[in-house]
Amino acid sequence: MIWSLLVAFGVFFILTNGLPPALVYAERKLAAGIQNRVGPNRVGPYGLLQPIADAIKLLFKEDVTPRGADKFLFSIAPILSFVPAALAFAIIPFGNYAGEVRLQVADLNVGILFATAIISLGAYGIAFGGWASNSKFPLLAAVRSSAQLISYEVVMALALVAMIMTYGTVRTEVMVLAQAVPLAETGPFAYLPAWGVFQQPIAFVLFVICCFAENNRAPFDMPECEAELVGGYHTEYSSMKFALFFQGEYIAMTTMSALIVTIFLGGWHFPGMDVADHSVGMGILTILVFMAKLLGVLFFYIWVRWTLPRFRYDQVMRLCWKGCIPIALVNIAITGIIGVLYS
Amino acid sequence: MAGPATTHAPETPSQTGIGERLFLPSVVKGLLSTLRHMMFGESFTVEYPEESVYAVNKFPNDENRRFRGEHILVKDDQGREKCVACMLCSAACPAVCITIVPEEVDWEDRDRRPKVFEIDMLRCIYCGFCEEACPCDAIRLTPAFYQVSRTREEKVYDKEKLLNDDPDDPRGKYQSPIHPGK
């Protein structure tokens, strides 16, 4: 029991706290590659120590609280954007069993619902940060961000409803097991695993779009569009408070990617594996498979960010309410009809 | 026009096709484009202290030769300066940084040359007027831009320095044979 907790929390800690610096480095390197540049290469071999240099710099910067700012909210906002993102990771099964150890921090019976509820709390971090700064641009960013997050949460929930109908459960562990079977008994699809992306491609696309919007990542990075809002909600932040915002953003990205992997890309499952094999070696292998998928999705996040220009604000809203929501509703209806016909 | 005049602007026809209005096909196209740059694109960065700006040529057609840096005095095919000390460059110079003292020579093709030709690089504003004013193509601006010296005196370039034709020198390699692009 104590071992399972230690292993689970160890991997959890690495994923939520070790990954963001690596992601910052990867982001800068990939951005450089896309833009035909070199990227960080001065600090350490291949610039690998750049994130550490950045962190040290941020630690030694002056921690400024603007005059007239609401001190309590101003201090608590970065924490509010950091904690929920890391917390939601708890329900992600990042591997099968390793011996007796269940590779998941918490197997909640409300599963996905817990994740969506907790991730929504991240909006408070942005809203409070913008409000408490006593500055007009962060406030505008906060207002925009709140509207955007509320809108896209609707689409996200609708996409999830279709998936819950498909799997017949909200428990993430059971969802992964439901994907660990062939897509069809016979025919050309028998070689494909029953991953969510093959069963529900439309829900997958919608969910990925929502993840970008929920994380305030390009092309939906409304809260921090430099051209209009200076730096967005963290304009007035400096030092480690800013760093916490920054890290929260990357952890939210990791958590969202993990959700995509769990719901749509088969979690820790890979074709040809024996789900009943609970040996330690198999457990480690499943962790590696999960990590590979996670890094693939994160790569996609970065890739998209440096490819697409930012949407205009009204375009973001139109895409959500007039584009995604009708499609999501139709998708649910089709899923329901197929479910009734085949049961 | 038959109907009543309308104040409404005519509806502009949509310039975008169905692919662009659905976003996703265009997004995929863009993603493939950036992937190509990521995988096969060569970096344009000159990694300065390790790489010499003059040694690498990352720009097709050597675009950076248009840069106006330090001057050279051009030599003719007999290795003599082309300059005939007509003083047009020093007259054109808005910073008054060119000092010329002419002297007589008894060469077949000309009878004047500069005895002293000095450019004060600390005063020069690199406008290129001297190059434009010169009737003999005798003075040129090169892309050389290192402006390092220990004393002010070093930055007053005399005739010997200006007549540099060392092909390894950032200025000298623009001596011969003909300044490309002229």
B69-102 pLDDT tens trace: 888 888 887 888 888 999 999 999 999 999 999 9
Which residues form the domain of A150?
53-341
Note whether residue A116 is domain-resident.
Answer: yes
Q: Got the DSSP string for B62-90? A: GGGGGS--SEEEPB-TTSSB------HHH
Query: Residue A199 domain-assigned?
Result: yes
Give a yes or no: residue A237 inside a domain. Answer: yes
* Cα(A170)–Cα(A114) distance, integer angstroms: 9
CA-based nearest distance B17→chain A, Å: 17
Give a yes or no: residue A148 inside a domain: yes
**Least confident range of A92-101, B47-56, B166-175:** B47-56
Tokens describing residue A103: 């590779």
Chain-chain contact of A37 with B43 (C-beta, under 8 angstroms): yes
- What is the full per-residue pLDDT of chain A (343 aa) written as tens digits? 677 677 777 777 777 778 888 888 999 999 998 998 888 888 888 888 888 888 888 889 888 888 888 888 888 888 888 888 888 888 888 878 777 777 777 778 888 888 888 888 888 888 888 888 888 888 888 888 888 888 888 999 999 999 998 888 888 888 888 888 877 777 777 777 888 888 888 899 999 988 888 888 878 877 676 666 677 788 888 888 888 888 888 888 888 999 999 989 888 888 877 777 778 788 888 888 888 999 999 999 999 988 888 888 888 888 888 888 999 999 999 999 988 887 7
pLDDT at B56 over 60: no
User: Cβ B23–A38 below 8 Å, yes or no?
Assistant: no
- Under 8 Å between Cβ of A35 and B42: no
Residues of chain B with Cβ-Cβ distance to A309 below 8 Å are none
Query: What are the φ/ψ torsions at residue A101 (nearest 5 degrees)?
Result: -85, 125
Share of chain B above pLDDT 90, in %: 21
**Cβ of residue B47 closer than 8 Å to a chain A Cβ:** yes
Residues of chain B with Cβ-Cβ distance to A308 below 8 Å are 27, 30
Q: Which residue of B has its CA nearest to A305?
A: B31
Q: Inform me whether the pLDDT recorded for B181 exceeds 50.
A: no
Is B91's Cβ below 8 Å from some Cβ in A? Answer: no
Q: Do B43 and A307 touch (CB under 8 A)?
A: no
C-beta separation of B134 from B89 below 8 A = yes
- Strand stretches in B44-120, DSSP E: 71-73, 98-104, 112-120
CB contact under 8 A, A319 and B43: no
| pTM metric for this prediction | 0.79
Length of chain B: 182
How many separate domains does chain A show? 1
Q: How close A23 gets to chain B, by Cα (Å)?
A: 17
Q: How far is CA B182 from CA A328, B76, B78, B140, in A?
A: 64, 16, 21, 10
Interface touch B27/A308, C-beta < 8 Å: yes
Taking the C-alpha atoms of residue B15 and residue B173, their distance in angstroms, rounded to an integer, is 51
Q: Does any domain span residue A45?
A: no
CA distance A113 to chain B (A): 29
- When CB atoms are compared, the residue of A33, A36, A307 closest to B31 is A307
Token couple for A116? 């969506």
Instruction: Quote the tokens at residue A322.
Output: 């007039």
Contact call for A34 and B34, based on CB within 8 A: yes
Per the domain annotation, does A15 fall within a domain?
no
Q: With an 8 Å Cβ cutoff, are A36 and B41 in contact?
A: yes
Q: Does a structural domain hold residue A42?
A: no
Instruction: Report how many helices (DSSP H) and strands (DSSP E) chain A contains, helices first.
Output: 14, 2
B68 has pLDDT over 70: yes
Which positions in chain A touch B35 (Cβ < 8 Å)?
303
CA distance A239 to B22: 42
**CA-based nearest residue to A212, from B29, B38, B18, B23:** B23
CA distance A234 to A138: 7
Beta strands in A152-256 (DSSP E): none
Residue B180 has pLDDT above 50, yes or no: no
